[in-house]
Amino acid sequence: MKTVIVMMSDPKSGSEEALGRVFNGLALASECKQKGDEVAVVFNGTGTRWPAELAKLSHPANTLYNSVRDVVQGVSRGCAEVFGAKEATESCGVPLKQDHALAGTAGLLSLRRYIADGWNIVVF
């Protein structure tokens, strides 16, 4: 099985819901890894703010994030630029992806490529 987990919730919303979404997305990534599935985690939209938050040792999901860090494939470059997360993303070593050219942006992370390759997509 192949599953891509797309994080779109906004850590800056300050809501428990956003934390619950990222936690459950990371938990799904962990379970998929444990079962030997092919799994990827990507960050789009306001979710591009998550890597910098999750990299903080004090964050409640830091340990879980680090356990799946090897399957984090990237952050949408165009989204990271729009939502002010580009520099923070770069500083924590998560690649910026721009494999979908879109006018008016620096390029976005392509979700279509996962669909074309038969991946299941789960959005948090």
Domain with 11 in it: what CATH number? 3.40.1260.10
The alpha carbon torsion through 23, 57, 91, 4 (nearest 10 deg) reads: -20
Segment 15-72, tens digit of pLDDT: 899 999 999 999 999 999 999 999 999 999 999 999 999 999 999 999 999 999 999 9
- The 10 Å Cβ neighbour count of residue 3 is 19
HSE-CB for 20 with a 13 A CA cutoff: 3
Segment 92-118, tens digit of pLDDT: 999 999 999 888 888 999 999 999 999
Distance CA 122, CA 115 (A): 11
- Give 101: exposed, middle or buried? Use CB within 10 Å, 0-12, 13-18, 19+: exposed
Q: What's residue 31's pLDDT?
A: 98
Q: What range does the domain containing 26 cover?
A: 2-123
Distance CA 124, CA 119 (A): 16
- Predicted TM-score (pTM) of the model is 0.94
- Which of the four pLDDT bands, split at 50, 70 and 90, describes residue 14? confident
Q: What's residue 104's pLDDT?
A: 85
Tally of domains in the chain = 1
Distance CA 86, CA 76 (A): 9
Q: Residue range 6-17: average pLDDT?
A: 93
